[in-house]
Chain A
Amino acid sequence: MAEFLMVIIGGLKIGAIYALAAIGLIVIHKATKTVNFAHGGLVMLGAFAAYLIVVELNWPYWLAYVLIPILIGIVATLLEITILRPLRRADLFIVIVATIFLGIALSETFRLAQNTEMLAVPAAIKGPPMMLELGEDLIIITREQIWVCLGALTVGVIGLLIFRYAPAGRSMRAMAANVRGAQLCGYSVNRVYAIAWFVGGALAGLAGVFAAPSHGVSPELAISVITAAFVAAVIGGFDSLLGAIIGGLLLGLAETLSAAYVSSAMKSAVSFLLLFVVLLWRPEGLFPEAKGRDV
């Protein structure tokens, strides 16, 4: 029982990071109709920025949580303005290919600049693990697990609330629902796309800060995160932020439970198995967006 609970907590921690990455992916997709395959690269940049701030510059950790979302948000906005904006009238396929190669470029630039296997970032919250007694067994929870679970989920929920209620969120939702209609309400496509990339990039950057201590900073981080975020997003319906959060948590749990009780080799197989099961059972994902009549 104690072991099971520890496995669950471990799964939630990984899932919370997946969720955060998936939300950013969804925000950009909803508002701009672009599947951003460079999202993993932005998460990696966020993790790398955490390394620079915490390890190289030795600044306090909280600065990483404040500066990195802004920084990666700006980077993402610049990518939109310089690379994707000129492609706006291009074929969707070209835009997707552009983001794929953008992601590869981010990873490879990192690989070239940092000639090292991996950069390590210390945990944000230090201290001995907490022990809870459960009968004869002991449940051990590290402070980092609590911090990542709660922190990443809080950020995710804040992102969701912004999207749902803030004026910037309304502009993105309007753009998502109907690009022409949104323009007729005075929402500028360029501006809203830039905002969406900023918010998506900021969420990716934060996912990187949360992921850095447990994954390390390396190009592999980009690949593992984009894969997981994509699966989580599809499970959640690809258009729902709440769905992305639930999808991320489900994926983290499924991976960890299968590693614990089946085999670690099953881990990635399980994520795709989960994807297939969800899509067979509910092809529109767990949380399809309410679609009204065609208007």
Chain B
Amino acid sequence: MQAFWKAIARAATGLAVAAVLAVSAGPAAQASSQGVTDTEITIGALGALTGATAFIGGPGRDGIQLAVDKINEAGGINGRKLKLIFEHAFTPAESVAAAKKLVESDKVFVLILASGSTGAAAAANYVRETGVATYNIYGATPIIRKPFAKNVFHSAIPGAEVSSQAMIDRAFEARPKAKKIGVLAGTYAFPQANKKATIPLLKKKGVEFVVEEFDQGSRDFTSQLLSFARARVEAVLIFGSFSEAGFAIKQGPEKGLTGVTWVVDGSAVNDAIVPILGAENTKNVWGYYNAPYFPGQSDAPITAYKKMWTAKYGKAPQGRPNLYDLVGYGSTYVLAEAMKNAGKNLNWDSLIAAWSSLKNSKPSNLGGVEITFPQSFSKTNHQGSTELGKAAIKGGIWQVVPK
């Protein structure tokens, strides 16, 4: 009997040692040109395909794949075709596991974080440690940005301080002489992070402001709006979802707030806010957008893009393609241009060097359509774009309007 347990113990120890060896040997044993063959470059991406953030991951996968197909049709990169492996990951733990799998067993050359902030934050340590060339295309979280890592690049979704500044700018573009600003923020994580980034900027601006908060899913904003009305604010910055922002703005007049300028953050810049507001309340509402066109606009580049999208994926369901489709597509072209500039001898070092000196990179450089803002990088700044379009509701939909 004892012999049996000893055998079990020995086997278990052996397995554990093997596992430790496998894990520790993994990254070290990688060539920095893993995933690159004479004919193919394998890139990996992770994001949620189901669950609450599936509206990010799903479009991410489709946007990247669409660009990969088009780049391959046009001959690939320096004679190599691109191949995408997409891994579903919703929770932080799944994100870390997906990153490991892609890097260590699928041996991808570049890892794209196509999840929201949650996945990007979870994978941050891992990608820093392994040194894999990483492209964070959606995460606004500071955790993936700080401290700076030379192998991690960011696309067109900037950190909170950039979007907060954009919101303050919108308020003062509409009300150059505003003396009092209202700040209306949800009590949950995302709006709180944005509020935190905004307060110092308002202080720096030297403007008076009133802060009011609301619980997630609120439908009644009586107390907050009355507080703004009593303080006679001229503009209100709202940090919350489209439904929360929509009902707050709609109730404004009922609580005595007329002629006020409303600025909503990125998550409220969604066409679903329009029916909540009603056409009569859309005039003084502003926002920002991370791309030069909304999918609903009919300008030539976005129309061409939608045609490509439909040709590949069929009739678009409601709400698709969305921002994450656009940024996924545009970012893949930026990555492709960096790989092209790295030349035939493609490895992490040559890619990172080429990426860090990429200027004004945009899809049209490789034959794509211009539906994202151009991205530029330097050795010390890996945020591809901080440009934010000025968004307003025109003709019942959000549109990017000239500044």
Contacts and interface: CB of A to CB of B under 8 A. Distances in A.
Q: Within 8 Å by CB, do A and B touch in the complex?
A: yes
Nearest to A131: B258
Contacts of A119: 272
A255 B54 CA distance: 36
Given A117-B241, A117-B243, A264-B214, A10 B255 contact: yes
A120 B273 contact: yes
A127 B218 CA distance: 25
A123 B246 CA distance: 13
A168 interface: no
A136 B222 CA distance: 22
A222 to B, nearest CB: 13
Interface in A224-249: 224
Interface residues of B, number: 35
A6 B247 contact: no
A145 B254 contact: yes
A265 B253 CA distance: 22
User: Which residue of B215, B221, B230, B278 has the most chain A CB atoms within 10 A of its CB atom?
Assistant: B278
B58 to A, nearest CB: 11
A153 to B, nearest CB: 18
B253 A216 contact: no
Contacts of B217: 218, 220
A14 B247 CA distance: 14
A214 interface: yes
B275 A121 contact: yes
Contacts of A267: 220
Interface in A69-84: none
B26 interface: no
A118 B243 contact: yes
A279 interface: no
B229 A3 contact: yes
B243 A216 contact: yes
Interface in B226-264: 226, 229-230, 241-243, 246-247, 250-251, 253-256, 258
A214 B247 contact: yes
Contacts of A9: 254
B315 interface: no
B280 interface: yes
A215 interface: yes
Contacts of A214: 219, 247, 250
B222 A260 contact: yes
B163 interface: no
Nearest to A137: B256
B279 interface: yes
Contacts of B243: 117-118, 120, 216, 218
A264 B223 contact: yes
Nearest to A7: B222
A122 B278 contact: yes
Contacts of B347: none
Nearest to B212: A264
A104 interface: no
Among A138, A220, A256, A264, max chain B CB count under 10 A is at A264
A142 interface: yes
A2 interface: yes
A216 B222 contact: no
Given A140-B253, A216-B247, A220-B217, A263 B276 contact: no
A260 B254 CA distance: 13
Contacts of B256: 2-3, 6, 138, 140
A259 interface: yes
Interface in A1-18: 2-3, 6-7, 9-10, 14
A186 interface: no
Contact of A123 (B220, B242, B278): B278
Interface string B196-219: 000000000000000000110111
Contacts of A115: 54
Contact of A216 (B219, B223, B255): B219
Given A117-B243, A214-B219, A215-B219, A7 B278 contact: no
Contacts of A129: 253-254, 258
B224 interface: yes
A55 interface: yes
A10 B223 contact: no
A11 to B, nearest CB: 8
Given A142-B253, A215-B219, A120 B258 contact: no
A120 B220 contact: no
Contacts of A293: none
B222 A128 contact: no
Contacts of A118: 243, 272
A89 interface: no
A115 B274 CA distance: 19
Contact of A120 (B215, B253, B276, B280): B276
Nearest to A262: B223
A291 interface: no
Given A2-B256, A121-B275, A259 B223 contact: yes
Contacts of A10: 222, 251, 254-255
Which of A3, A215, A216 has the most chain B CB atoms inside 10 A of its CB?
A216
Contacts of B224: 264
Given A122-B275, A214-B219, A267-B220, A3 B280 contact: no
A79 B205 CA distance: 60
Given A2-B256, A263-B223, 9 more contacts: A10-B251, A10-B254, A55-B275, A126-B279, A140-B253, A214-B219, A218-B217, A264-B222, A264-B223
9 contacts: A10-B251, A120-B273, A120-B274, A120-B275, A122-B278, A126-B279, A216-B246, A218-B217, A264-B223
**10 nearest A-B pairs in the assembled complex, by CB-CB distance:** A264-B223, A120-B275, A120-B276, A259-B222, A118-B243, A259-B223, A122-B275, A129-B253, A215-B219, A123-B278
